[in-house]
Structure 1
């Protein structure tokens, strides 16, 4: 029979676990070691069985699940993750293809500098592989067709890109409102700035596609300050944001990006509660917060809000949130969902023709199509970001449109797919109201200071709050680490 541990040895073990965890997570926050040690002492039997959790986490995407995992690593078991959907993963989602393959229909890539999500994948035993880009890209315009070897880029003008890279040095990635040039830059949209750069008409297609794909809005609606903060996260190098090779679209996960959340949830077991939307939050300014869900009340001493800021509109707060925080949530762009399709073929036949599977379309519905086949190319998969307003909502009609465009690009073999999936995020569920946040001009100047400060017992998390790579999977993981540390420090103070 195993030797029974004494209370002292248990406390020492938890303290050692805390110190080990703190070293691994030093970049995620700046809490004192004394706070971590104090919490270890609190968890050695001091909590009462009064039905009050130490921490409730709203949202089972990468941010919320990472925070939950960190709490457990710290020795805290008094927590619960509440997820409105009937699945985990948030804005990452796998489409299961017959034969055991998957294609991502939500967020999917990581690249250089995105070390937080890469570390998480290694810890979970999830492998990676490079995005396929060898060969020529097809550009379609009306009935016209040209091919070009972009060598893993999106073809944007290097001189203009260098100017953006230089400007981004003055715009902190996680706090653009703190830029010394905020007054000058936050008045402009990216479109305003590009209009002064003498961009050739043939290059405008690349810029429009790049900015829509990265930022979720056309250049005319994307704030220049916000876009520069995104570039700042990419080591102040626009090419690291806007390309495949050595860039943010360089690497994919074996098993699809949702596998990260699935594995996290399996580790957490019954600590994750699905189909449990939170409708009201009461007493966030008191010692115990009450969450009103579709399946009853949950009470907690601290709450990590690991959701998109605009989703807070779907909850009632009693008392109302502070004016500045409420104003930020009210002004946050609340509806820019993407539509992403996946066409499956028996094999990636375009590769035999010297093509890389990428298509850009001038003034057409396909913003970007790309090779999304499995690592060994056992089957062929073409994913595409499409303009919702230009694609039929009816599935078969949308599929027929895709087949015609792909046939124009690569020939009649494209007319014979074996499967098709259409993920229209505007119809997926009530909780994926936007995929990436298309922040307009003037937003950060007016509301930036209210983004991160806690409101009573509410800790704001989610990728939008990340210090770097906000809006990306990496930002979600970073915000989860930071949210857990904030929650533990809050409990230590209490």
Structure 2
């Protein structure tokens, strides 16, 4: 009896230690736990059952894994379907240590979680180059505008959007007081009601399309207002370079964050390991059927785009609300980015910043993506896939000719060309950014974040702030790790 009481006392002390550790956790800067104390109290259980399995080795999944490991949880694995880490971030290697990002790349004021992560990983940042004039091509005409000092004069339509965004919480936009009425409108319909002229509409279409991957006519006003709400209720901050979410880049490219986290996790990260089936998500131990065998876990973090979850068979089927959200989540904004490399950023000598917008051709926006020292010139671009040839040589020459209209004949002779169409590179992306249509969030948003059985949902789309951005991915990873630890403690108490 004395021995039994001693065992009960020891178990109680262990649980108390972990509860105290989790009580000290924060979501902003990561999980501030004592690794030694936490490791001592996480239950051992069956040797072949992991405490946590994370699906997806992008920013969200790797952040969650990193937090768990820092909390003392070593019983984990990260399963990645691709043969690389980074998810929707990917670096083109241009040689001599220079990269150009094919996916997400910019951060800005207010995106504190990803700034904190970069600092902890010792990844430096540098300002995006935007000094000089922007150029607009409309038919055969060319217009120049200098926005170096800011984002232009205050626009009454922008001010109205900012004011509306104050009433739409980014955490749960579907709970806004007038959510049902707002969610009936697309951004395009709302702009039409404001009497926006063609020139202003062109500007709105370009900026909103780049942020959300879809024209304003297809984008829910409620969703867009929630994105503005994340950016301190400032469309200028959401869309802008100077003082905005595109102000800063990473030395070494954005994928370096995931690469560094994965290196620290070592063999806990399993590449080329897609999850095909999840069995028993409603039981104490979940089975994940992968291309590398069956893995068993007590908690599962799905750090995936919601629509990508449809590629996994759930047994038993997920509850109807969650299943419908995944089935109906839009996935038609894959995006395509190109890169022209030149011997130097010669456009700067002309007083241009490399930003070229074309109203009626394949070029949506080009921008200066050169390295911090300007040792080579890099023009990256978002393009309209349907209007640009898929053959790389033809695509290169088509865009070079457009650049030459603005920059001169030197633009016709790049030293390298890279082309990354996210809709074609692999089956694991589907879409790059969120393009939520009217009526979706008020019907299905409530099913996005709550855990289902042993399944915890992560990924930038689930973030309370900066959803669809890299910062949102990091925030969602912090939250998911904390939820997993709390679930393990709760299960330990009831065991």
The TM-score by the shorter chain falls in which range? Answer: over 0.9
Where structure 1 has 5 or more consecutive residues not aligned to the other structure, the ranges are 1-7
Residue 435 of structure 2 corresponds to residue 433 of structure 1: no
1:176-215 alignment, distance < 5 Å: 176-215=173-212
1:88-487 aligned at under 5 Å gives the runs 88-151=85-148, 158-487=155-484
Cα distance in 1 for partners of 2:321, 2:161 equals 31
Deviation at 1:41, TM superposition (A): 5.7
Q: 1:119 to 1:348 in 2, by over 3 A?
A: same
Match of 2:56 in 1: 59
Distance in 2 between residues matched to 1:248 and 1:313, nearest whole Å: 31
SS of the residue corresponding to residue 427 of structure 1 reads coil
Aligned-partner SS, 2:300: strand
TM-score (norm 1): 0.93
- How many angstroms apart in 1 are the aligned matches of 2:23 and 2:393? 52
Q: 1:371-427 CA distances to partner (integer Å, 9 max, x unpaired)?
A: 000011110000000011110011100000110010001101101110000001111
Distance 2:455 2:151 in 1: 41
SS of aligned partner of 1:428: coil
- 1-structure distance, mates of 2:153, 2:223: 19
User: What is the rounded CA distance, in whole Å, between the counterparts of 2:61 and 2:38 in structure 1?
Assistant: 25
Structure 2: which 5+ runs fail to align?
1-9
How far the C-alpha of 1:156 sits from its partner, in A, is 8.6
C-alpha displacement at 1:100, in angstroms?
1.8
- What's the secondary structure of 1:255's corresponding residue? coil
After the TM superposition, which of the residue ranges 270-279 and 134-143 deviates more from structure 2?
A: 134-143
Tell me the distance in 1 between the aligned counterparts of 2:206 and 2:239.
10
Q: Relative to structure 1, is the Cα distance of residues 491 and 39 closer, same or farther in structure 2, using a 3 angstrom cutoff?
A: farther
SS in 1 for 2:207: helix
RMSD of aligned alpha carbons = 2.3
Q: C-alpha distance in 1, partners of 2:321/2:238?
A: 31
Please, which moves more after superposition, 430-439 or 45-54?
Answer: 45-54
Q: Which moved more, 1:139-148 or 1:233-242?
A: 139-148
CA distance in 1, matches of 2:18, 2:26: 14
Deviation at 1:102, TM superposition (A): 0.3
Deviations 1:427-484 (A, max 9, x none): 1100010000100000011001101111100000110000010000000000000000
2-structure distance, mates of 1:288, 1:106:
36
Distance 1:306-1:313 versus aligned 2 partners, 3 A rule? same
For the residue of structure 2 that corresponds to 1:330, the secondary structure is helix
Change (3 A) 1:46 1:192: closer
